[in-house]
Amino acid sequence: MRPAALPEAVPEVQARVRPYPGWWLPALLLTLLGAAAPAAAAESYLARPIYSEPSSGLQLPPGCEVDPSWRGVVADSELEIWIAVCAAEPRIWLLRRQVIEVLNARQVRLRFEVLDERSFPQDVAGDTLSVQCTGPHDAAGYVVQGARWRSEGKQLRLKSAQSVLRADAHANRLVGAEASEIDCTRFPEREAMMKRLQQTRN
């Protein structure tokens, strides 16, 4: 009796997992939606109050800083013009100053309100953006944007600027001005000293 023949080897079946048709559509839609989404706009501080207390100093919004040399007072008005850096973005503020309480002959509580605001993310506060400028008759309230400076001893004089803004006390906003109207001079040593003093007080 012949032994039963052994079954032939069954060839191994390799399972291949194939993606379902159209598997790439969700990924493509997410990519397109992400590309089409606009960049988040910088936070605006218009109409936001800022207080100054004799005991604690200037109470800026979180994430904002203002150096002493970045502030200018508009003569014969209650306006000031500041350069602020908020969330690493330089901007120009036009503010109205208001005395809310007189504590003594030397100390007052102040309230500032941002009336106008311009953002310049490509600039550097205190350098390419500067309020160290005066206009006709030594009037303050001017700021240069895109500024370039030339060294003259211990001071820097304005060489050129992309634009100039000034405070319009009647309209309570920033308006354009001509570079030929202004004279700008910076004193880097004094700026550094004022910044150190502010850091010591804080």
pLDDT tens digit string along 149-158? Answer: 999 999 999 9
The most distant pair of C-alpha atoms in the chain lies apart, rounded to whole Å, by 128
Residue 201, SS3 per DSSP: helix
Residue where the block lists tokens 């030397």? 106
Q: Is 11 within the bounds of a domain?
A: no
Q: Is 37 within the bounds of a domain?
A: no
Indicate the average pLDDT of the chain: 84
- In the structure encoding, which two tokens stand for residue 4, read together? 């039963």
Domain membership of residue 84 as a residue range:
49-201
Structural domain total, the chain: 1
Is pLDDT above 60 for 80?
yes
Confidence of residue 21 (pLDDT cuts 50, 70, 90): low
- In the structure encoding, which two tokens stand for residue 159, read together? 């060489």
> Percentage of the chain with pLDDT > 70?
78
- In the structure encoding, which two tokens stand for residue 152, read together? 């003259």
What's the pLDDT tens digit per position in 110-163? 999 999 999 999 999 999 999 999 998 888 899 999 999 999 999 999 999 999
Q: Is 20 within the bounds of a domain?
A: no
Nearest 10 degrees: CA dihedral of 114, 119, 121, 126? -60
